[in-house]
Structure 1
């Protein structure tokens, strides 16, 4: 199975919660990713492109391959920090 997703990666749950609130109020995901994300994908608005199941850490995969599409999920904690994840599609 493959999927495409974008995410925002930050160091603290408090910061992720704050960004999630902005998103819930209608803020632009890509703009916030460019502004806040610690991932190199920030330059592309958090876009991670297409990847296969198993390419990402388990907690990340569980969201991308099991949760609702086009909804921002998180904060999800991994060894990298706290993610806000939006799955664009999967097949």
Structure 2
């Protein structure tokens, strides 16, 4: 079964998510941004969600994770929880 390892930053608006994507792509530390900005409890762990398979995450989030390549920062992705900035840490 395909699995993905991802980290994310959950924020309240598309604008905020886009600003964080730009900061990550310009070299800012993803984990530090997650600890400071993420509304998800995983933020305290730098946004790490660990390994998960298909069917374990909400559909838009899962689709973005499995479509991306290892090392990609993808988003903004909207779910019922808010807006996500996702980093693909690994795939197997």
- In the superposition, the TM-score normalised over structure 2's length comes to 0.94
What per-residue deviation string (whole Å, max 9, x for no partner) do you get for residues 8-56 of structure 1? 0001011111111111210000000000000000010000011111100
Structure 1 residues not aligned, in runs of 5+? none
Of the structure 1 ranges 59-68 and 28-37, higher mean CA displacement relative to structure 2 is found in 59-68
The answer to whether residue 56 in structure 2 is matched with residue 55 in structure 1 is yes
Q: What residue is the counterpart of 1:27 in the other structure?
A: 28
May I ask how many residue pairs the two structures share in their alignment? 91
* Cα RMSD, aligned residues only: 0.8
- In the superposition, the TM-score normalised over structure 1's length comes to 0.95
Instruction: Give the Å deviation of 1:86.
Output: 0.8
Q: What residue is the counterpart of 1:67 in the other structure?
A: 68
Q: What residue is the counterpart of 2:90 in the other structure?
A: 89
Superposed, 1:4-15 pairs within 5 Å as: 4-15=5-16
